[in-house]
Amino acid sequence: MPKSKSQTAGEVLQKYIDDYQTNPFALSKEIGVQYQTVTHILKGKSRVTPQMAIRLSKHYGTTPNYWLDLQTQSEIAELQSDKKFTAQINKIPKAQKGKAKQTAKPKKANKLSTAKPGKQAAKAKSKRKVKAFKTGRAKKK
């Protein structure tokens, strides 16, 4: 059955019910859901969920995406006709691609480089000892 942009999933489901000469109650029993679930979809009070889409696709020989696409298209059409929502959306700026970010950070001045040569060696040795202790590679005497 071809889908129209203006049709909701419930309207298409009603056409399937009519074409197969059945009713919502019989359909609900055949696909294993409550009667209210089917009637709410028909009235537009409920959405076609992925679970329902799988049930309907198995029953009518369609695909789950067919039912989900119907649901999505009708929801998008409804939102696009909502003037308040459209006004909010029109305020959203379009994303701009920026310049490539630098991946390498500039090197900071080494604290040890400002120290005097004798102190620099002592600090470096101290750091190695701390690192060795933390990693468990400290020399035992």
Task: Tell me whether residue 139 is in a domain.
Answer: no
Task: Tell me whether residue 98 is in a domain.
Answer: no
For residue 76, give the CATH number of its domain.
1.10.260.40
Cα-Cα end-to-end distance for the chain: 86
Task: Tell me whether residue 24 is in a domain.
Answer: yes
Task: Tell me whether residue 135 is in a domain.
Answer: no
Task: Tell me whether residue 54 is in a domain.
Answer: yes
pTM (two decimals)? 0.62
Quick one: 41 exposed, middle or buried, by C-beta within 10 A (0-12, 13-18, 19+)?
Answer: buried
Task: Tell me whether residue 101 is in a domain.
Answer: no
Task: Tell me whether residue 127 is in a domain.
Answer: no
Task: Tell me whether residue 65 is in a domain.
Answer: yes
Residue ranges making up the domain that contains 61: 9-87
Query: What tens-digit pLDDT sequence spans the chain (141 residues)?
Result: 444 456 999 999 999 999 999 999 999 999 999 999 999 999 999 999 999 999 999 999 999 999 999 999 999 999 999 999 999 999 999 999 987 666 666 666 555 555 556 666 676 666 666 666 666 665 555
* Domain count for the chain: 1
